[in-house]
Structures are given as C-alpha cells and as structure tokens.
Structure 1
Amino acid sequence: MMSILNEMMFPFSSIHSEPHNLKVSSRTDISISVSWEIPENEVTTSPIRYIVKATGADQECASEESKSCKIMSLTPNTAYDLTIEACSVDNLSLCSEKSGIVKGFTTPAAVQDLQVDNVGSRKAIFSWSDIPNGSGELKNLTVYVFSRGSSKNETVNKCYVIGSNINSMRTCTAMALSPNVQYSATAVICSNDDYGCSVDSNAVDFQTAPPAPVQITAGAIGTKYIEVRWTPALIQGFDGYQVVAIPLSGNPQAKPQTCNAAASEKSCVIRNLQSATRYTITVVAYIKTSDGKTLYGDTILFLNLRTDVETYFRNIIAVFILIPLFILLTFLILFALRNRIPALHRLFNRKLEVDIVPGPMTTISFNDAKALDQQFQLDFLENPQDLPPTSNQVKKFSTELI
C-alpha cells in the first residue's frame, strides 16, 4: 500500500534516474552484449528492470539483477542505436528517461560452406556461399592456408577477394603451395565500416596433388601402340602414374586410351590405338586420398605423336615410290654404258641424215640502194671430177662475188 502511495506521490522517473555509462562489451554477427552502471544514490522502492533497446531492430534485452544483457537476433554487419531505461517491474509503463544513444555494431557473418573446388600440385581453388551484406560494406574475404594440425597463426599462404567480388565471384586461388602436402584452410571476412571481422569459418582439409614429371619422351611406336617414358619429379609419397592418349585425328568417336604404372616405374605402353592416327599424350601422377578418392596431379607436359600405318598401306606406298625410282635408275645405268655396248652406242649416238637434191646452177642477185650493185652467184655443180656422181649427196658448193 505504501509503495502505491509513493508512486502516486512521486513520479517513477523522479525516484529512479536512468542508468549511465552504457557500453558495448562484446558482439557477434547476430548479437550485441552491453553493460551499464547504476547511480550510487539510487533509491529503490520497488523492483527495477533495466531494458536495453536496439533502435530499428525491434529487439531488446532486460535484466533485473545484473548490470549487463545481450540483444539477440540482429542482422550481421549492421549498426544499431542502443538506449537503456529503468522500469518498474510492477508497472513497465513507469520508466525513467532513456539514456543517451550508444552506437553498436554487429560483425559480418561467418563465411559459410567454405570448400575446395580444385587442387593442383601447387595451388588450391576455394569457394563459398553467398554472404549477407547488412547495412555496412564488406571490405575483404581472406582464406588462410596452413599445415594440417597447426593453426591460422601459422599460415603458409592465403588468397583474398575484395569488395563486391565477395558475392559476385565467390572464389579465390591460393598459390605457391608445396606438392603432395596435407593442408587445412579457414576463411574470415571483414567489414569496411569498422564493424570488425567475422569469426573463423569452418575449416576444410585437403591435400595437394603430386607434381608432374619433369620430362616425357616417346619410345617405340607401332601401328597400335606407343611407348611413353618419363623422368619423375618425386620418387615416393604417391601411388603411381597414369598415361592418357587422346586422338586428334582418325575416328572422332574413339575414346582416349590409358595405361597405368607404379610409382617406381618410368615407362608405360599405351595399347589399342588406331593406326596412322595422331595423339596427344599426357603423363600425370596420382595418389589415393583417405576418403578413397583418386587425386590426379598437374598436366603440364605433353607429346604429339602419330602411330604407324598398316603393312598393306605401307606396301602400296612403297610400290608407287619404288617403280619410278627403278625406271630412273635403269635409264641412268644404260646411259652410262652407252659407249661400251655397240647397240647402246648406236641408240644414244644416232644422227639425223638430211637428203639434199642437186639441181642446175642458180643465180641470185639483189640491189642495195646505198652501195654498188652487187651480184652473188651460187653455183651448184653436179658430178665433180674427184667424186663419183650420187643423187643424194652434195659434191661441191662454191660462192662467187661478181
């Protein structure tokens, strides 16, 4: 009865002053923890409930005995205006004046679904799910890579994405890792508005692949097989090699052919190939992971080789090439022996005979306008005295200038 009379005689706010020194003690991506102080001259006539409100979120927390509380179910990476007031437990409408506004921030949300999409001998590609922005701006997302069993403080390498690329790209690649090594990775995202950074994401374990051979060469090549040799980069710590031959010509629907070799071996023969077909050949090392999967190494070097043609094709080609060569060689031999074999001599040294029919003496004359008149006389004499007369041979030819 006395408490009711006191409340009627004195307003609640005149009996209790508002708490002061409200401050944020800790925060997460969905909560803000606060604490405050009560005035030393506070007179308590009824139980008091201290209520902290986050403006714009319709969320609050309250405490009757302690001097702290936590506001839950907030939005990540968002700023809030915080106030506190003291209210009567018996009548929550009777409250003190609100304190001054204190700024509070939630941190960015933790990276979700971090996973390794692809692994090479010296790199790993990571991805993650979409991250809520809140009212603040995201600054960067960093993936930390460290040896299995150690912590993020012992990072061996990292990759990061900045700004809007965090949700548009959602991938980054950590480089310069060591081959055939077990690693772990975790991700942290930070705000660009001094809201802080998120907690570490879930950790993912992975192993880098074995390195590619340092050199590959071709051995024997047949119509249906190719021998491939290589120089290994590692001699232990992996399970073996796989050689793959991919056809570049011939039957377009032909499947790639493979052969496997143990880690201690340095060659392998790929069989069941098509004849007269060009292939791209690669050699990769592989290892069996703890979950039963096969992890293949990098494909850096390759060969471009062609299998031999079938025997009957080779014989046909030989016929078309050798017959002209045989004819040419025979002609050259006969030509070289032409002076030793009479028949060849007459064949290669045969001359054309020209028959000239003799006739009576003929006179040819012409005038030159710039010179004296000259007359040339060509005498064809039949049957000179020193030679017997013939009908097919010229016996004497003379020219006189008149």
Structure 2
Amino acid sequence: MTGNLTFAYWGGSDGEEAGFAYAKKKFESENPGATVTLKAVPYASFFSSIDRGIQAGNAPDIFRVDYTTIGKYSKNGVLLDVSPYFSTDEIDAFLPAMWGAIQYDGVPYGVPHQTDTTCIVYSKSAFETAGITSVPTTLKDAWTWDEFSEVAAKLRSSLASNKFPFAYDWTLAGAYRWNSWLYQAGGTLLTSDLSASALPSDAATKALDYTKSFFTKKWVPATNTIKTSTYSDNFFLDQTVAMSFVGDFLVPELAAAKTGYQGGDWGATFLPQDAGTGADLGGNAIVALKDTKDPELAAAFLKTLVSEDCMKYFCEQAVELPTLQRLASEKLKYAYRPDVVAVCAEQATTISDTIVAETTVGGFADINTALQNQLELAFHGQSTESTLSALSTQINKALSS
C-alpha cells in the first residue's frame, strides 16, 4: 500500500507519544511508500479543530476520539464504517464491551484503541495516622458506601482544617464520572432502550444526596467541583487530600521520581460499592473519516494501531488498559506501578454493557455538558429534586436532537 495519511490526536504523556510513534514506524516499514503524518493538538481545542476541518473539507484522515464523544460523530454519519475491513475472528479478538463501544446502530466506526478507568490512590502515612488499618485488596472486598464514609470521617478527624479526605475526578469533561455513583446505587442514566432519561429515580436521589454531602461534611476541598481549575490528581500531588480518585493514565505522573507524589508511600484500592458496582468508561477510540481519500489505507493503519504488538507497547508505555482479550488477560510490563494498574484492570470489569451503551450513545457529548452544568449547581446548593428534573429535561433534549 502507498499513500499519505494524517493522524491527529491530543498531546498526551511521553508514553502515548512513544506508542503512536512506534505504530507509525511499524506501519511505514510494512507498507513502503505509505506515510503517516502525526499531528498533536491540545485537548482543549481538539474537537473544535476537527469540526472546523470536517466543515472545510480538510480534516485529518484519522483522529483520536474519547468514548464519550464518538457517538456525536458516528450519529452524524462522518466516520468510516470499518466492517468491510475486519473479519469475524478479528472482531472477536476484542473485549466484547469495547467493540460495542465503537458501534452505532450496530455499525462499527473506528477501533477501540485503549481504555482506562478510575481507582482510589491513598497516602499510607495519612491512613496510618487516622487509624485506618484495613484497605481492600480485592474487588469483592471493596468498601461499601458506609465503610467509605467511615474512612472519610476518620481522615476528616485526623487531618488539619486545610487538608481533606479525598478529591473526585469529575472535573469538566470528566463530569460523567459522577455516573459511577449512580450505577453503584443501582440506577441508570437512561432507559433500557437508550431513548430517554431514567431520571429522576430513587437511586439517582441517593447518589446525588450522597455526593453533595462530600461538600457539607468537608470531605473534599470546596474547589473540587465540576468547573474547577484543579484536577483530582493535583489535589493529591500537592498533598491537599489524603486520597484521590484518579484514572490509571495518571499513574506515570504520580510515580515520577522528581515531580510525582512526594508524601511517602502510596497505594491504590477499588471504588466503593452500594447496591451494585460501577466505574467510568474512560479511554479512546481511533476513527477514520468516511471521506478520507484512501479508506483502505486508513483502515490498514487502524488495524496496525490495534495490532497486538502495537497495543501492548502503547499500553505498557502509557500505562493504560488494552482492549484485546488476550492482552487483557496477560500480565503486561507497565512502565510504572504495575500494582496500581492491576487495581484499575480489575475495577474495569465492573464496566457493564449498560455503562458502555449509555456512555457512547449519540447524544452523550451534550449529556456530559448537562452533567457539568447541573452538578455544578447541585454542589453549590441547588436542590436534588431540581437538579435531577433539569438533567432529565436536558438529557431528553440531547437524545432527540
């Protein structure tokens, strides 16, 4: 195969950069005459630049897209249907839920490149000072909400007034991670056919009341709201909090010898559970434009990106989770803290088909914006009833538009 492709992605960690460069080198060596131009764009302006490019007819052939945004593009019919390029055996090599994450109306658009999810990291010395002697080491033993509350209360009692038990990773585009509490409470965001909001509900009321209490009980910093300028990992890095909810992709940052966490030994454990379990579907797909000048070449590069060799290297260097079944069951040689990544990998098993389906529905980008706006208001005093009512109205609008 010969020809030229442009691949756009938002600038990530050094590990991600190395992973993309590795795939480019492999693809070009296996396809003499083919060239892939890598184009890194800041995340803040990434999708606006993609949208402008699509409208102007000069968008990149291939681009990265998070699972919470892919539905926007597949719904609007601008992505390449990759079904002609993948055999049944190749499709079956992926984790079923992850292959489902790139489908819209049963049609696959792009490839599930990697995934990530949230775990809890914590300061061992802060826990020792607070008298917390037992931390779950298996998913089945994860704290219940009541047990998590006890841990938070012990930390609150032992910490200085300007320090806090934890921070949560729901900042800005991560607003949808609040849904983990909803799933843990036994609820869902949407009806089973994904056509309408499932709010208000008893589970949603319980989840929102519980998360609002984080602020009234001073378990989280007052600035750990949705539209803050400080992310959960930064609260942990500057030792404002004793534990934090973070994605596995942040492990390299936390583990860096000179710039990482300087508060002593730190460990990781699982998300709390209530009536059920639940976690956030993080990570990204790689998609090609339907109007790319060479769809076969684009599809071939997509297949290289998710080849076992390239996915293994990318995930090990970037400290993220693979989407191929064989790699998911293999012990990868992660560049940083494989013990922490193992917690995230086990936590990822709680990402149900329902969570995947709701997170990748066509209007989810607008739903996430609604979550940003309404949760911010809720954490600043808006009633639970008003919040869930407004969310329901805005979710239904997003699904029908």
Report the structure, 1 or 2, having the larger helix content.
Answer: 2
Over alpha carbons, which structure has the higher Rg? 1
TM-score by length of 1: 0.17
Q: TM-score, structure 2 length as denominator?
A: 0.17
